[in-house]
């Protein structure tokens, strides 16, 4: 049986379902706002996410003897960011360039060691704890030790290479002798004339003079040649010697190593017989050119045998020597491998310290280094302690100390995160690092991001799978394999807490949509009663008004309609979310579309309004109260009078019209359009006096636009021109003065008055110089146009919430009907067999299409809604990140960059 729910859009169900996420959302946002409320007003607690931390510029006076130790202590703690005081000094003219060079030399040696150790296949142990930077006294010792090691290693390796090369030559020679024997045998068979020539003596390698001495016209050159060069070699021989040579060659069966490159390649053995001395020279040169390995050619069998025997014994000897050398080398390397990790880390730290010292400037007496650092105010105490510790370690008589100095420069932004908030902060930082002390949207993103994602991904089956996956990652987050995973897995791992919340919220919205793998779940029993539609149960008087069912209707109509106005049919809203009966209804989509569309508009407007309100917090903090009255309030009015009213109308319609009156309910779209068009014909609106209220709202909207466009520029102009007028100028400058006071408050109390005056003068000059009415006007006009148009387009943009959630629901529905339903329809005997692959396929497609693909798309859209629609209402994001000098930021994996 199918049910068709009656006409009106605003029936009980939607009241239960539609309003719920709305309240939940505002509740959630508010509950996040509450703890940070007091923080926004005063100084934030340490680690607050609401604003970045207050920074101060500190000057460190480091006694030249203790500077190294102090920086080492600072680096371990990672408290401060150094400013480069020698920006116009090129890198090689800085103070500690010699030390940096020494570090580089050490790095070179260590790289060589690591390379050799890796080549010898010796495992490199990585220590768990990272050793601190070496004390200066040990550096020399370390350097000496490493240099000695390098020299020794180089010598042993060189010896080894030499031995290997020797061995290789001998092996090649034996091969050559073995192969050429066959040549000669063949030659002897066919050309016995060879025997007439007296044997050639070959005392030394490459001796060609023998032929000269003997006056013989026939000579031999034999050797090995690289496989690839054979053809060219033969051609060249032919051309150069004009055919006065005979070349015989054969391929060597086993490939040998090339002594120069270490590659294993195939070789050819060749034997060249030639006539004449001139040609002999040419042949020799050509052999050189092709890098042939030429060996003396024995002429008699006895000689050959003798040489071969001699070679064999020498090869044996060489093998033993080589073996011993290799053993020794291995020993040396094993010993080096033990300490190489700590050395690499130490040298890295040392180099980092000297780089930082290069950023410091010397004072006049050359006795102490002055460094300027940005330090979070909360960490000043730690900074002092670190300095003390550094001084103590080096045993200096005069301790290093620090001093905070006032500055007008914008400090870097530091927002401390933990493993939970880090992911959300990264989403915000990807858009832009927040300006110093401005409201940080990451705090709100923690809730709104998973929520908006879930609105688009509303399915509690899928949400639960995602939640389980994220939970798995979270529970095993200390597992080493996860920490070192690559690329995609790494991405999931870093966003595990985001995924966790996204899954959790999807379970929630899935419950609201009553969607689990596209099926509804009937937890509490539907609020609709079908039997009440039968005429028998009603009093005859009521029956006349209603369209009731009887047997003929039930038998003959394809679609039946449930009428909520019939008593007993609709027994009240479903307790949580959408009534499961809608899953059976043919007009389910119409109903859900209307609900989701309205919901997304409502959510969007609340989200954007919240953004504008956060802007007020920014203006309050930066003491620009006029911005609140001239920018934020008109913006709010503009938004609320048009779109806030739209939300009001939607909610009003839900509340005012019941199932009985639904047929006379006006269309919100028409009402909203009529608000701007003032039609002549009177329609009955949602409530009485609607026309007057709408007119009033329109007037407010129209008034807020010029204020938004001109208010701020005119006010600034008035401030600027009215310097001589008493009232205005005072209020204008107190604003600026308060602003600067905050930074100057660190000065001694007696200086404040003076400093303040100077500062005020400075500010006045600055405003005088920078005041450019045209520019301010242009900026404000552009901003206003963007805002007004943005209100409309951004509201429309939030409709993606509806579109994506619709797409997701439809896609999962399609997957269900195309796969599982087919599997379930087959009769029992085969069905069991079929169901297994069907369910496997269903699972795979669900994971890849619905969870990963759809999830990714919903994720991207949620990001966009935050970056564009939400953050452009208040977030400037023009700051620089605070990058502390910290050894932890040095990569601890040395094999990557050293080897």
Which CB, 270 or 842, lies closer to other proteins?
A: 270
In the complex, least distance from residue 281 CB atom to other proteins, rounded to whole angstroms:
8
Q: What is the DSSP letter of 568?
A: T
In the complex, least distance from residue 213 CB atom to other proteins, rounded to whole angstroms:
23
**What is the rounded end-to-end Cα distance, in angstroms, of the chain?**
73
User: In DSSP terms, which residues pair with 377 in a beta bridge?
Assistant: none
| Distance in angstroms (rounded) separating the CA atoms of residues 373 and 81 | 5
In the complex, least distance from residue 261 CB atom to other proteins, rounded to whole angstroms:
15
User: Pairing relation of β-strands 3-5 and 560-562?
Assistant: parallel
Which CB, 356 or 452, lies closer to other proteins?
A: 356
Which CB, 211 or 820, lies closer to other proteins?
A: 211
Q: Give me Rg for the CA atoms of the chain.
A: 43
User: Pairing relation of β-strands 293-295 and 267-275?
Assistant: unpaired
**CB of 523 within 8 A of CB of 507?**
no
**Three-class secondary structure of residue 375 per DSSP:** strand
Which CB, 290 or 464, lies closer to other proteins?
A: 290
Cα 257 from chain centroid (whole Å): 45
**Three-class secondary structure of residue 58 per DSSP:** strand
Tell me the angle at which helices 136-190 and 97-119 cross, rounded to the nearest 10 degrees: 40
Which CB, 167 or 292, lies closer to other proteins?
A: 292
Task: Transcribe 761-822 into DSSP letters.
Answer: HHHHHHHHHH--HHHHHHHHHHHHHHHHHHHHHHHHHTHHHHHHHHHHHHHHHHHIIIIIHH
Angstrom CA distances, 212 to 208, 219, 245, 282, 453, stand at 7, 9, 17, 15, 93
In the complex, least distance from residue 226 CB atom to other proteins, rounded to whole angstroms:
10
Which CB, 92 or 190, lies closer to other proteins?
A: 92
Which CB, 272 or 569, lies closer to other proteins?
A: 272
In the complex, least distance from residue 242 CB atom to other proteins, rounded to whole angstroms:
9
Residue 794, number of CB atoms within 10 A of its CB: 23
Angstrom CA distances, 140 to 89, 99, 136, 550, 632, stand at 28, 11, 7, 103, 64
Which CB, 112 or 420, lies closer to other proteins?
A: 112
In the complex, least distance from residue 355 CB atom to other proteins, rounded to whole angstroms:
12
> Long-range contacts of range 702-709, CB-CB < 8 Å, 24 or more positions apart?
704/633, 704/634, 704/635, 704/637, 704/638, 704/641, 705/634, 705/638, 705/784, 705/788, 707/630, 707/634, 708/630, 708/631, 708/634, 708/635, 708/638, 708/780, 708/784, 708/787, 708/788, 709/780, 709/781, 709/784
The token duo for 514 is: 């009553």
**Three-class secondary structure of residue 432 per DSSP:** coil
Which CB, 235 or 490, lies closer to other proteins?
A: 235
In the complex, least distance from residue 215 CB atom to other proteins, rounded to whole angstroms:
24
Which CB, 89 or 321, lies closer to other proteins?
A: 89
The token duo for 814 is: 């399609």
Which CB, 152 or 377, lies closer to other proteins?
A: 152
| Distance in angstroms (rounded) separating the CA atoms of residues 241 and 253 | 29
Which CB, 104 or 207, lies closer to other proteins?
A: 104
What would you measure as the largest C-alpha separation in the chain, in angstroms?
A: 143
567: left (phi over 0), alpha (psi -120 to 50) or beta: beta
Which residues form the interface with other proteins (CB under 8 A)? 90-93, 97, 101, 104, 108, 111, 229, 232, 235-236, 239-240, 281-282, 285-286, 288-290
In the complex, least distance from residue 58 CB atom to other proteins, rounded to whole angstroms:
29
Which CB, 283 or 452, lies closer to other proteins?
A: 283
In the complex, least distance from residue 891 CB atom to other proteins, rounded to whole angstroms:
17
The token duo for 356 is: 């930082």
Which CB, 288 or 338, lies closer to other proteins?
A: 288
In the complex, least distance from residue 87 CB atom to other proteins, rounded to whole angstroms:
13
**CB of 619 within 8 A of CB of 628?**
yes
In the complex, least distance from residue 285 CB atom to other proteins, rounded to whole angstroms:
5
Which CB, 221 or 500, lies closer to other proteins?
A: 221
Which CB, 109 or 170, lies closer to other proteins?
A: 109
Residue 28, number of CB atoms within 10 A of its CB: 17
In the complex, least distance from residue 90 CB atom to other proteins, rounded to whole angstroms:
4
The residue count for the chain: 899
Which CB, 89 or 834, lies closer to other proteins?
A: 89
**CB of 452 within 8 A of CB of 866?**
yes
In the complex, least distance from residue 579 CB atom to other proteins, rounded to whole angstroms:
59
In the complex, least distance from residue 109 CB atom to other proteins, rounded to whole angstroms:
10
Which of 711, 712, 706, 733 is CA-nearest to residue 722?
Answer: 733
| Distance in angstroms (rounded) separating the CA atoms of residues 30 and 49 | 15
In the complex, least distance from residue 289 CB atom to other proteins, rounded to whole angstroms:
4
Which of 469, 459, 593 is CA-nearest to residue 516?
Answer: 459
In the complex, least distance from residue 264 CB atom to other proteins, rounded to whole angstroms:
21
**Three-class secondary structure of residue 866 per DSSP:** helix
**CB of 80 within 8 A of CB of 373?**
yes
Which of 501, 520, 500 is CA-nearest to residue 510?
Answer: 520
Which CB, 27 or 98, lies closer to other proteins?
A: 98
In the complex, least distance from residue 245 CB atom to other proteins, rounded to whole angstroms:
13
In the complex, least distance from residue 292 CB atom to other proteins, rounded to whole angstroms:
12
């Amino acid at each position: 049986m199918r049910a068709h729910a009656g006409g009106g859009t605003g029936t009980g169900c939607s009241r239960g379902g539609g309003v719920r996420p709305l309240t939940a959302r505002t509740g959630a946002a508010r509950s996040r706002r509450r703890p940070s409320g007091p923080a926004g007003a005063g100084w934030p607690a340490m680690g607050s996410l609401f604003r970045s931390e207050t920074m101060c510029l500190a000057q460190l006076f480091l006694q030249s003897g203790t500077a190294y130790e102090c920086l080492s202590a600072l680096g371990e703690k990672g408290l401060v960011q150094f400013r480069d005081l020698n920006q116009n000094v090129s890198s090689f003219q800085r103070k500690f360039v010699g030390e940096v060079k020494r570090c580089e030399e050490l790095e070179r040696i260590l790289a060589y060691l690591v390379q050799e150790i890796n080549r010898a296949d010796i495992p490199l142990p990585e220590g768990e704890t990272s050793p601190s930077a070496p004390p200066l006294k040990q550096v020399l010792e370390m350097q000496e030790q490493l240099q000695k090691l390098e020299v020794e290693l180089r010598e042993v390796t060189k010896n080894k290479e030499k031995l290997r090369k020797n061995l290789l030559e001998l092996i090649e020679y034996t091969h050559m002798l073995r192969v050429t024997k066959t040549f000669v045998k063949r030659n002897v068979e066919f050309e016995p004339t060879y025997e007439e020539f007296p044997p050639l003596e070959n005392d030394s390698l490459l001796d060609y003079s023998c032929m000269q001495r003997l006056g013989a016209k026939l000579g031999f050159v034999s050797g090995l040649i690289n496989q690839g060069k054979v053809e060219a070699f033969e051609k060249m021989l032919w051309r150069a010697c004009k055919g006065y040579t005979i070349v015989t060659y054969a391929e060597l069966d086993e490939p040998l190593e090339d002594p120069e490159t270490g590659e294993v390649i195939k070789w050819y053995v060749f034997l060249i017989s030639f006539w004449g001395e001139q040609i002999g020279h040419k042949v020799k040169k050509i052999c050189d050119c092709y890098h042939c390995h030429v060996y003396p050619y024995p002429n008699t069998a006895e000689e050959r045998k003798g040489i071969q025997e001699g070679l064999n014994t020498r090869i044996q000897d060489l093998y033993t020597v080589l073996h011993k050398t290799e053993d020794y080398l291995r020993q040396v390397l094993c010993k080096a491998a033990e300490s190489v990790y700590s050395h690499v880390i130490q040298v890295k730290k040392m180099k980092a310290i000297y780089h930082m010292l290069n950023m410091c400037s010397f004072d006049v007496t050359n006795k102490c280094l002055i460094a300027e650092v940005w330090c979070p105010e909360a960490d000043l105490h730690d900074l002092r302690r670190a300095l003390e510790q550094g001084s103590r370690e080096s045993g200096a008589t005069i301790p290093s100390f620090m001093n905070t100095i006032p500055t007008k420069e914008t400090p870097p932004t530091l927002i401390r995160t933990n493993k939970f908030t880090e992911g959300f902060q990264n989403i915000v930082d990807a858009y832009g690092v927040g300006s110093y002390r401005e409201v940080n949207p990451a705090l709100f993103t923690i809730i709104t991001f998973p929520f908006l994602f879930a609105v688009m991904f509303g399915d509690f089956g899928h949400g639960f799978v995602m939640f389980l996956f994220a939970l798995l990652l979270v529970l095993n987050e200390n597992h080493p394999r996860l920490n070192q995973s690559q690329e995609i897995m790494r991405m999931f791992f870093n966003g595990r807490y985001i995924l966790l919340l996204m899954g959790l919220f999807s379970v929630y919205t899935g419950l609201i949509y009553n969607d689990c793998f596209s099926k509804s779940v009937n937890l509490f029993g539907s609020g609709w009663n079908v039997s009440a539609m039968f005429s028998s149960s009603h009093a005859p008087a009521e029956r006349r008004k209603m369209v009731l069912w009887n047997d003929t209707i039930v038998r003959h109509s394809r679609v039946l309609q449930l009428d909520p106005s019939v008593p007993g049919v609709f027994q009240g809203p479903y307790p949580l979310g959408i009534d499961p009966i809608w899953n059976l209804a043919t007009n389910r989509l119409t109903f859900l579309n209307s609900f989701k569309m309205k919901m997304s508009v409502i959510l969007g407007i609340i989200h954007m309004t919240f953004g504008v309100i956060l802007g007020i917090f920014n203006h309050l903090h930066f003491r620009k109260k006029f911005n609140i009255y001239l920018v934020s309030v008109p913006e709010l009015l503009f938004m609320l009078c048009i779109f806030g009213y739209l939300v009001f109308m939607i909610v009003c319609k839900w509340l005012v019209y019941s199932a009985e009156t639904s047929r006379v309910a006006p269309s919100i779209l028409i009402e909203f359009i009529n608000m701007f068009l003032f039609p002549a014909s009177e329609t009955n609106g949602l409530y009485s006096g609607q026309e007057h209220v709408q007119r009033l709202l329109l007037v407010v909207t129209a008034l807020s636009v010029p204020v938004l466009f001109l208010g701020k520029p005119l006010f600034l102009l008035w401030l600027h021109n009215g310097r001589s007028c008493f009232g205005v100028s005072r209020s204008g400058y107190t604003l600026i003065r308060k602003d600067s006071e905050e930074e100057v408050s660190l000065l001694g109390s007696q200086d404040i008055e003076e400093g303040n005056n100077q500062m005020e003068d400075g500010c006045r000059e600055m405003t005088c110089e920078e005041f450019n009415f045209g520019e301010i006007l242009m900026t404000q006009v552009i901003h206003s146009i963007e805002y007004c148009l943005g209100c409309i387009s951004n509201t429309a943009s939030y409709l993606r919430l509806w579109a994506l959630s619709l797409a997701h629901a439809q896609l999962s529905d399609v997957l269900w009907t195309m796969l599982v339903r087919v599997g379930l329809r087959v009769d029992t005997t085969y069905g069991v067999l079929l169901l297994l692959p069907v369910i496997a396929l269903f699972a795979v497609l669900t994971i890849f299409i619905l969870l990963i693909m759809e999830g990714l798309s919903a994720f991207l859209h949620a990001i966009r809604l935050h970056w564009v629609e939400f953050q452009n209402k208040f977030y400037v994001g023009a700051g620089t990140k605070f990058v502390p000098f910290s050894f932890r930021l040095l990569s601890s994996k040395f094999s990557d960059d050293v080897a």
